[in-house]
Structure 1
Amino acid sequence: MGYYFQLLRWNKPSGRLILLIPSGWSLWLTPAAPPSLLILGIIILGGLFVSGAGCIANDIWDRKFDKKVIRTKERPLANGKVSLKAAWILLILMLFFSLFIVLSIPQDSRNLCLLLSSLSLPFILLYPSAKRWFQYPQLILSICWGFSVLIPWAASESSLAGGVTLLFCWLATILWTFGFDTVYAMADESEDKVIGLNSSAISLGGKSLKTVSLCYFLTCIFLALAAFKANLGLIYWPFWLITTLGMQREVFLLSSKSKGIKTSGLHFSNQVRLGSLLLLGMVFSKII
């Protein structure tokens, strides 16, 4: 059973949280915020199942390449602990559970959420192959993450008529995801070059850290504009300021350290903390 949890990445909560955080931003920026417990539960379960499906699809595509990369060679499909047949069965189950979750959304929002979920599925399943044919596969992942903003908003509001607030939350999520996944790709940069895979870290080369810094800066600017339009209270802004400075500090620390699995992993974990801090500010602003 433990190997199946590893295949789903459920043994690594940071990867699940970093998907659910933008969903939280979206829910707490809606006019209906704070969201109901039903909507919160649906979004959390949906995020777990969808991210699990994405991780399995990624490992199925990359099982041969993963054997050649230090960071991924011990993944269950790469080391043979889980069979390809079992992985396909688990992928189908995750997609079925994801569909069940969407169908559990209140009727007023169900059709729109079903449409958005259907639109997201090709990107989720396409992303693992993108590193073979696209110089910036992290952009495909960013689009996947963008649906984690659109679907919760639709579930809560029964429409996508969110105006500037929704647009800027979506853009912030796209940029944040591109930034942290570019850093994550740096850990595999040398090995990806050898085996012929693409990543934004390779394509950007020496401009990688400047690009990540710009992505984080724009993320915070867009979330500030979204929060302003959503009429968040004053209590939000200290959280926003600390996060804005913290993201730039993380980029500075990267420039002073050698690239590697531990460095990229720590950066990833710290982005979870910083994104959570922003969400906490939104929550406090709505309930206090």
Structure 2
Amino acid sequence: MADSLPKSWVDHAPDRFRPFLRLARYDRPVGFWLLAIPCWTGLLLARLGSGLAPQWSDLGLAVLFAIGAIAMRGAGCTYNDIVDRDLDRRVARTADRPLAAGTISVRSAWLFLLAQCLTGFVILMQLPPLAIWMALGSLVLVAAYPFMKRITWWPQAWLGLTFNWGVLVGYAAIAGRIDAPMLLLYASSVFWTIGYDTIYACQDREDDALVGVKSTARALQAHLHLWLWGFYGLTAALAALAGVLAGAPVWFALALLPFTFHLFDQIRKVDPEDGRACLAVFRSNRTTGLLLAAAFLVCSFI
């Protein structure tokens, strides 16, 4: 199964730009959402904890986080493909990625990576000081991530730590401090990512075994659904606790129900032997994350 989706605007872009757009995964926008949503939920949780309704300035921050997520997710994918280009050639789903297929040179990929990082840096400099320092703290996680699947069966946990760092940045941008609700929401988001990326990794189990790549999809396959119940159970419980400690009203439990239902409904739909079904379930996590953001937003207003 090639690493592609139905036709998108990327397929209609000029030929010289198309490989770079694919390298940054502009044809797979769900990743941008999954990087931006933790920033937004962190921001909204902090606003909930402040006891004030969201401000117009919060919208400006949300837009900055969205642009930063696009730039840095693209940069992360570019870096990942530079490191993994030899492995990608040996996996059916990723063999047609630009670096693996040779449609982009490694030098061009590094220059493209630099351009995206510079864009992210410009966005970063618009944030409050604590948020800037928090964001810089993620660089070690980002740099190490592509190597995790070579040394641990739990690269999805490392991705969770990396991909949800925006919770800390978004919260710090509003609250200007580090406290328990922020850390609980971060932990919740980490377990969420372990769950959905385990589902995503089910697509590659056979190829990963052939090339020696580790993943939770391979390690946990005998009891996959049971583990997903655990990951998503912790996701829902920790998100609820974060809201309660931030001062959410009693009816926050009702606001959280759509998020919780959508989260657990994924488990019912997962078939580890059906790669397309796993991809569809993975992509549905955009809705999952937006439902959590909506729960925090509604409670902030009322």
Q: By how many angstroms is 1:233 displaced?
A: 4.4
Q: Which of 252, 256, 272 lines up with 2:286 in the alignment?
A: 272
1:245-260 to structure 2, matched below 5 A, reads 245-254=261-270, 257-260=271-274
Tell me the equivalent position of 1:103.
125
Q: Would you say the 8 A contact 2:201–2:215 is kept in 1?
A: yes
- 1:31-73 CA-partner distances (Å, limit 9, x unpaired): 3452523321221122111111111111111111112222212
Tell me the equivalent position of 2:163.
145
With over 3 angstroms needed to count, the CA separation of the structure-2 counterparts of 1:245 and 1:65, relative to structure 1, is same
Q: By how many angstroms is 1:260 displaced?
A: 3.3
Q: Which of 26, 49, 71 lines up with 2:71 in the alignment?
A: 49
- 1:109-163 CA-partner distances (Å, limit 9, x unpaired): 32x2332222211111211111111221111111102311111111222222x32
Normalising to structure 1: TM-score of the pair? 0.91
Q: Would you say the 8 A contact 1:16–1:47 is kept in 2?
A: yes
Normalising to structure 2: TM-score of the pair? 0.87
Tell me the equivalent position of 1:237.
253
2:136 matched to 1:114?
no
Q: Would you say the 8 A contact 1:237–1:281 is kept in 2?
A: no
Q: By how many angstroms is 1:80 displaced?
A: 1.7
Q: Distance in 2 between matches of 1:279 and 1:214?
A: 22
SS of alignment partner, residue 98 of structure 1 = helix
Gaps of 5+ in 2: 1-16
SS of alignment partner, residue 231 of structure 1 = coil
With over 3 angstroms needed to count, the CA separation of the structure-2 counterparts of 1:246 and 1:223, relative to structure 1, is same
Q: Distance in 2 between matches of 1:142 and 1:28?
A: 20
Q: By how many angstroms is 1:230 displaced?
A: 2.4
Q: Kindly provide the amino acid, as one letter, of the partner of residue 157 in structure 1.
A: A
Gaps of 5+ in 1: none
Q: Which of 13, 17, 35 lines up with 1:19 in the alignment?
A: 35
Tell me the equivalent position of 1:197.
213
Q: By how many angstroms is 1:29 displaced?
A: 0.8
Tell me the equivalent position of 2:109.
87
Tell me the equivalent position of 1:211.
227
2:18 matched to 1:2?
yes
SS of alignment partner, residue 116 of structure 1 = helix
Structure 1 stretches of 4+ with a deviation exceeding 4 A read: 233-236
Q: By how many angstroms is 1:214 displaced?
A: 0.8
With over 3 angstroms needed to count, the CA separation of the structure-2 counterparts of 1:245 and 1:279, relative to structure 1, is same
Tell me the equivalent position of 1:262.
276
2:94 matched to 1:78?
no
Q: Kindly provide the amino acid, as one letter, of the partner of residue 137 in structure 1.
A: P
Tell me the equivalent position of 1:287.
301
Q: Kindly provide the amino acid, as one letter, of the partner of residue 70 in structure 2.
A: L
Q: Distance in 2 between matches of 1:55 and 1:235?
A: 40
SS of alignment partner, residue 188 of structure 1 = helix
SS of alignment partner, residue 77 of structure 1 = helix
Q: Which of 20, 25, 34 lines up with 2:54 in the alignment?
A: 34
Q: Which of 203, 216, 222 lines up with 1:187 in the alignment?
A: 203
SS of alignment partner, residue 202 of structure 1 = helix
2:226 matched to 1:226?
no
Q: Distance in 1 between matches of 2:29 and 2:284?
A: 13
With over 3 angstroms needed to count, the CA separation of the structure-2 counterparts of 1:260 and 1:78, relative to structure 1, is farther
Q: Would you say the 8 A contact 2:35–2:164 is kept in 1?
A: no
SS of alignment partner, residue 187 of structure 1 = helix
Q: By how many angstroms is 1:171 displaced?
A: 0.8
SS of alignment partner, residue 100 of structure 2 = coil
Q: Distance in 2 between matches of 1:156 and 1:120?
A: 19
Q: Would you say the 8 A contact 1:235–1:284 is kept in 2?
A: no
Q: Distance in 1 between matches of 2:253 and 2:20?
A: 41
Q: CA RMSD in A?
A: 1.8
